[in-house]
Amino acid sequence: MFRIFRKNKNRPGELLDVQLRPAEQAGDAALEERLASSRNQLGQRLAELFSASKSIDENLLEELETTLITADISTQTAIGIVANLRKAIANKVIREPGQLLPAVQAELFELIEPCEQFLVVDAVRKPFVILMVGINGAGKTTTIGKLAQRYKEEGLSVMLAAGDTFRAAAVEQLKAWGDRNHVTVMSQGSGADSAAVIFDALQSAKAKGIDVLIADTAGRLHTRSNLMEELKKIRRVMSRIDPDAPHEVMLVLDAGTGQNAINQAREFNQAIGLTGITITKLDGTARGGVLFSIASELKLPIRFIGVGESARDLRPFDAGAFVNAILPIA
């Protein structure tokens, strides 16, 4: 259980102190531990700033804004948060620096709570098709491996499609995850047509009654527009077999890329339409604040977060647990 502050919708500026239970505790390390760098960058700095201040003045609010931005929360999002706090200060709901930490926490929680939308594998869709997209190095293939293991453990049958035919090593990397989890990987070697590989995999998965088909894609082609055209083609050929496929178009974003992640998301969304996001490498970065900007600017479901390299380190996104890990209230 952990404590979270929520904004009171009926009384602007006031906070509600609520207890939340983490959605799932499957991880082998506490989320707090994995997000330590981002917490040092945000929660700890804010706590220090507020405890060192005797009263709330313009200087303090400016430093607050800067601290938010330094933690990779976008300028626009940071300005919005501080503007809300200013209202509460003007209304005398917030009177002293000690009230600011829970107030900031509540603001951040409000931003990301709507994005907590767990990916439900619809059993009616056979196979339920997940198309993974994202730039090179974002963590697509690794996330596919982790998902494959998760779904296998849940008792679902899984097939993987090696749609990244651009890089020779990509197929091998996917096969290694497949072997580890006893999951079939459909591939045609490097240089093959990606859409054809995924088309064949979908046909095969359908014939075999597979529950979940996850398709890998390239992160880089000769140009970015080539990549987007290829993804559109993959979408088109899939719909010939199942008009509703893919059922999930999941964008994988590396948290370490900071604000650039938002531009990537816009570009992919415009080209093929996204239904969910996974944010990886939150363990290796102090830039975890970017998740708040991704949430508030894209308003897409955040399905999973990656907090390490093992399969257990792919966690369903839990907004309360995330805020608590990055900005805990003692």
Q: Which residues bind ligand GTP (CB under 6 A)?
A: 134, 136-142, 164, 167, 170, 219, 252, 280-281, 283-284, 306-309, 313
Give the nearest distance from C-beta 134 to Mg ion in angstroms.
9
Q: What is the Cα–Cα distance from 124 to 138, expressed in whole angstroms?
A: 30
Q: What is the Cα–Cα distance from 198 to 215, expressed in whole angstroms?
A: 7
* CA distances from residue 259 to 108, 219, 293, 305, 306 in whole angstroms, order as listed: 17, 18, 8, 17, 18
Nearest CB to ligand GTP, comparing residues 31 and 138: 138
Verify cis geometry, omega within 30 degrees of 0, for the bond prior to 301.
Answer: no
Give the nearest distance from C-beta 39 to Mg ion in angstroms.
29
**141 lines the binding site for Mg ion (CB under 5 A):** yes
Nearest CB to ligand GTP, comparing residues 99 and 194: 194
Q: What is the Cα–Cα distance from 247 to 266, expressed in whole angstroms?
A: 19
Please choose which of Mg ion, ligand GTP, none residue 127 contacts, taking the beta carbon within 5 to 8 angstroms, the exact cut-off set by kind: none
Give the nearest distance from C-beta 197 to ligand GTP in angstroms.
14
Nearest CB to ligand GTP, comparing residues 78 and 170: 170
Please choose which of Mg ion, ligand GTP, none residue 107 contacts, taking the beta carbon within 5 to 8 angstroms, the exact cut-off set by kind: none
| 3-class state of residue 265 by DSSP | helix
326 φ/ψ sector (left φ>0, alpha ψ -120 to 50, else beta)? alpha
Q: Are strands 158-161 and 184-186 parallel, antiparallel or unpaired?
A: parallel
Give the nearest distance from C-beta 137 to Mg ion in angstroms.
8
**280 lines the binding site for Mg ion (CB under 5 A):** no
Comparing CA positions, the residue from 105, 123, 14, 153 lying closest to residue 289 is 105
Q: Which stretch binds Mg ion (CB under 5 A): 70-78, 138-146, 225-233, 298-306?
A: 138-146
Please choose which of Mg ion, ligand GTP, none residue 27 contacts, taking the beta carbon within 5 to 8 angstroms, the exact cut-off set by kind: none
Please choose which of Mg ion, ligand GTP, none residue 37 contacts, taking the beta carbon within 5 to 8 angstroms, the exact cut-off set by kind: none
Give the nearest distance from C-beta 326 to ligand GTP in angstroms.
16
Q: What share of the chain is helix, strand, coil (3-state, %, to 5)?
A: 50, 15, 35
Give the nearest distance from C-beta 226 to Mg ion in angstroms.
17
Nearest CB to ligand GTP, comparing residues 288 and 320: 288
Please choose which of ligand GTP, Mg ion, none residue 137 contacts, taking the beta carbon within 5 to 8 angstroms, the exact cut-off set by kind: ligand GTP
Pattern 87-126, binding to Mg ion, x per CB under 5 A? ----------------------------------------
- Taking CB atoms, the residue at the shortest distance from Mg ion is 141
| 3-class state of residue 278 by DSSP | strand
Q: What is the Cα–Cα distance from 163 to 144, expressed in whole angstroms?
A: 12
Please choose which of ligand GTP, Mg ion, none residue 56 contacts, taking the beta carbon within 5 to 8 angstroms, the exact cut-off set by kind: none
Q: What is the Cα–Cα distance from 267 to 298, expressed in whole angstroms?
A: 11
**142 lines the binding site for Mg ion (CB under 5 A):** no
Q: How many residues bind Mg ion (CB under 5 A)?
A: 2
Q: What is the Cα–Cα distance from 119 to 251, expressed in whole angstroms?
A: 13
Nearest CB to ligand GTP, comparing residues 64 and 305: 305
Check if the beta carbon of residue 318 is closer than 8 Å to that of residue 23.
Answer: yes
Helices (H), 15-139: 31-34, 36-39, 45-51, 58-70, 75-90, 100-112
**Which parts of this chain interact with Mg ion (CB under 5 A)?**
140-141
